[in-house]
Structure 1
Amino acid sequence: MRAFIFPGQGSQKVGMGVELAGASQAARDVFGEVDEALGQHLFKLMAEGPDDQLTMTANAQPAIMANSIAVLRTMGIDLADKGQSVAGHSLGEYSALCGAGTFALAETARLLRIRGDAMQAAVPVGVGSMAALLGVDIAKAEEIAAACAEGDVCEVANDNDPGQVVLSGHLVAIDRVVERAKEMGAKRAIKLPVSAPFHCSLMQPAADRMAEALSGASINEPCVPLFANVTAAAGDDVDAIRAQLVEQVTGRVRWRECVAAMADAGVTQFVELGGKVLGPMVKKIAPDAETVSIVTMDDIEAFAKEM
């Protein structure tokens, strides 16, 4: 069994999609449609930068999605024909749902622009932060978060793999995490270069904004089940998906559990579309699974020979 997986924020880089657009009309059509939906030359920003503008949450989120969908459409495959499930890391969940037919491409781009703007505006710059804990499991990460909160918000944001958990919350609490994590059993704590504390309760204003945006969005049942970030369980009910996308803004990205659940359901091959960041996590969670990362035309052609 095969699952298609979609990367999240942090996988963006200047030059993304350029090689693909040069070789594929399907890719060019995707980038053009996203530009039109947003009223912005987003692909020019993806191609040329500057990096600080591409990294802005409101740009990075639709750009990463557009790149993933450009790869998928260049492949020319039907997910329901070639795979049994989809999943995405944080914003990648929107890419997965777009690929599975739940949202139209233009609708996905608009939703991600709203999501990016709302997440950036939810907390003033300098108030929140995030840190990655390395060499800890989820139980130890929860212990460190609780000990360093001291009345501030300090919560697990991403449970990425058996040795990497990301915490999110108030800057002062995350600073305490970085200072104390090693003595509390972590191999290392690294403050992340992010502009807001994603996936924690401080994001509630953004969740409220997404509830409003999603209530008016056209949504279809996905052609294959989605393993949702907040439940790590498969589903295709449109009302549940809508609610999960709202909950996801403040909720934990249960990526380790998602991959484990897909593996338990019989998935033996994980195909990452548009990035090379999820494959290494998958191998740590499901060592016996095959991972494939597809970004370039060479990747696409090589995969086509295997199918």
Structure 2
Amino acid sequence: MGKIAFVFPGQGAQYVGMGKDFVENFPVAKSIFEEASDEVNIDMKKLCFEGPDDELMKTENTQPAILTTSIAMLKVLENEGLNCHMTAGLSLGEYTSLVKSNVFSFKDAVKLVKKRGKYMQEEVPMGIGTMAAILGLNRDQIQLCIEKARQYGIVEAANYNSPGQIVISGEIKAVEAAVKMAAELGAKKAVILPVSAPFHCSLLKGAGEKLQQDLELLKINDPEVPVITNVEASILSSKLKVIPSLVQQVSKSVLWEDSVSLMLDEGVDNFIEIGPGKALSSFIKRIAKTKEKKVNIYNVEDVNSFKQVLQVKLEV
């Protein structure tokens, strides 16, 4: 029998209506939404179930909303006796993994990610930075585009999502130049993303420094379940690594492809994506295919998909 990993989505996965059927069907999910509302002074049910979209899209709202939705679904799974051998999350999703592993409490995490969202949004004024997704080029080719585009300003690799899908981030002119070069190199797709800030690049270093002050006030525990970090794509070895890892994560590349590769090498062959959307499932599928590994990928984002996972009868 192989191992199970729980994986959690990051910003961009949100949509109006997420988590609604869980709250309507499971008291534990309802209580998580109520707890979040109390902690961050937002009506989390109203925000997630009714929007409006532009309110949910604000980074300081999006981050606690996705964390709350993912944890509500996780608690329902745990109540059914389902657990994992390791866990990881994409960017914001790493906080969900850390709550899962009892590194810090949900109460602390939901307040923290609201501040994280605010710091990230405020660090770079609107109209300065952007991000772009590039499909169909390898890391060396992207790096070549980045190095050439640096004459126009700051541009860096933000997310290594899966083979042939990399997101870049930085100042608008430099990102646009890199996109143009990527297209000339034969990228299948090279598009500017509709984001409000240039996440995961050095422009956000100051946001990480502000976040560090908040992190230092938290009670942090050693992980109970192995957590794979975004920054190093390695297993979090102790609580002493938590703060440096999360501070760097704001302004460094997210090594998602490397994180999934590590989990595959550690014997994980069942992945359950918990939270809104299915983006991680498609990344994992591509990564496993490249490594010629056979995996089962499930996602839990509504009651129907949750019931399907229960029928599989996965055991830790």
Q: TM-score range by the shorter chain?
A: over 0.9
Residue type of the partner of 2:65? A
CA distance in structure 2 between the aligned counterparts of 1:192 and 1:66, rounded to whole angstroms: 25
CA distance in structure 2 between the aligned counterparts of 1:226 and 1:76, rounded to whole angstroms: 17
Residue type of the partner of 1:64? I
Residue type of the partner of 1:295? E
Q: Give secondary structure in 1 for the equivalent of 2:250.
A: helix
CA distance in structure 1 between the aligned counterparts of 2:147 and 2:39, rounded to whole angstroms: 42
Per the TM alignment, residue 116 of structure 1 is displaced from its structure 2 partner at its CA by 0.1
Per the TM alignment, residue 234 of structure 1 is displaced from its structure 2 partner at its CA by 0.9
Match of 1:295 among 284, 298, 301: 301
Q: Give secondary structure in 2 for the equivalent of 1:190.
A: strand
Given that 2:152 and 2:177 are in contact with CA atoms closer than 8 Å, whether structure 1 keeps it comes out as no
Q: Tell me the residue number matched to 1:227.
A: 228
Given that 1:167 and 1:174 are in contact with CA atoms closer than 8 Å, whether structure 2 keeps it comes out as yes
Match of 1:40 among 36, 39, 42: 42
Given that 2:136 and 2:164 are in contact with CA atoms closer than 8 Å, whether structure 1 keeps it comes out as yes
Give a deviation string over 1:149-191, Cα, whole Å, max 9, x none.
Answer: 2151100000000010000000111121233321123222110
Structure 1 alignment gaps of length 5 or more = none
Match of 1:66 among 65, 68, 82: 68
Residue type of the partner of 1:74? V
Given that 1:43 and 1:63 are in contact with CA atoms closer than 8 Å, whether structure 2 keeps it comes out as no
Given that 2:260 and 2:287 are in contact with CA atoms closer than 8 Å, whether structure 1 keeps it comes out as yes
Per the TM alignment, residue 43 of structure 1 is displaced from its structure 2 partner at its CA by 2.1
CA distance in structure 1 between the aligned counterparts of 2:269 and 2:91, rounded to whole angstroms: 22
CA distance in structure 1 between the aligned counterparts of 2:299 and 2:11, rounded to whole angstroms: 16
Per the TM alignment, residue 240 of structure 1 is displaced from its structure 2 partner at its CA by 0.5
Q: Tell me the residue number matched to 1:54.
A: 56
Query: Which shifted more, 194-203 or 268-277?
Result: 268-277
Q: Give secondary structure in 2 for the equivalent of 1:181.
A: helix
Q: Tell me the residue number matched to 2:107.
A: 106
Q: Tell me the residue number matched to 2:184.
A: 183
Residue 261 (structure 1) aligned with residue 267 (structure 2): no
Q: Tell me the residue number matched to 1:130.
A: 131
Give a deviation string over 1:12-69, Cα, whole Å, max 9, x none.
Answer: 0001111111111111000000010001112211111110110111011111111110
Query: Which shifted more, 288-297 or 111-120?
Result: 288-297
1:1-307 equivalences in 2 (<5 Å):
1-77=3-79, 82-150=83-151, 152-275=153-276, 276-287=278-289, 288-305=294-311, 306-307=313-314
Given that 2:152 and 2:173 are in contact with CA atoms closer than 8 Å, whether structure 1 keeps it comes out as no
Given that 1:42 and 1:59 are in contact with CA atoms closer than 8 Å, whether structure 2 keeps it comes out as no
Per the TM alignment, residue 304 of structure 1 is displaced from its structure 2 partner at its CA by 2.1
CA distance in structure 2 between the aligned counterparts of 1:231 and 1:76, rounded to whole angstroms: 28
% identical aligned pairs: 37
Per the TM alignment, residue 218 of structure 1 is displaced from its structure 2 partner at its CA by 1.3
CA distance in structure 1 between the aligned counterparts of 2:194 and 2:168, rounded to whole angstroms: 13
Per the TM alignment, residue 77 of structure 1 is displaced from its structure 2 partner at its CA by 4.4
Q: Give secondary structure in 2 for the equivalent of 1:132.
A: strand
Per the TM alignment, residue 239 of structure 1 is displaced from its structure 2 partner at its CA by 1.1
Q: Give secondary structure in 1 for the equivalent of 2:200.
A: coil
CA distance in structure 2 between the aligned counterparts of 1:118 and 1:166, rounded to whole angstroms: 21
Give a deviation string over 1:211-237, Cα, whole Å, max 9, x none.
Answer: 111111111122111110001111240
Given that 2:4 and 2:268 are in contact with CA atoms closer than 8 Å, whether structure 1 keeps it comes out as yes
Given that 2:7 and 2:274 are in contact with CA atoms closer than 8 Å, whether structure 1 keeps it comes out as yes
CA distance in structure 2 between the aligned counterparts of 1:277 and 1:294, rounded to whole angstroms: 12
Residue type of the partner of 2:297? T
Structure 1 runs (4+) deviating above 4 angstroms are none
Scaled by the length of structure 2, the TM-score of the pair is 0.94
CA distance in structure 2 between the aligned counterparts of 1:82 and 1:26, rounded to whole angstroms: 16
Q: How many residues align?
A: 306
Give a deviation string over 1:244-286, Cα, whole Å, max 9, x none.
Answer: 0011001110000000011011111111101311000001001
Given that 1:5 and 1:273 are in contact with CA atoms closer than 8 Å, whether structure 2 keeps it comes out as yes
CA distance in structure 2 between the aligned counterparts of 1:77 and 1:243, rounded to whole angstroms: 32
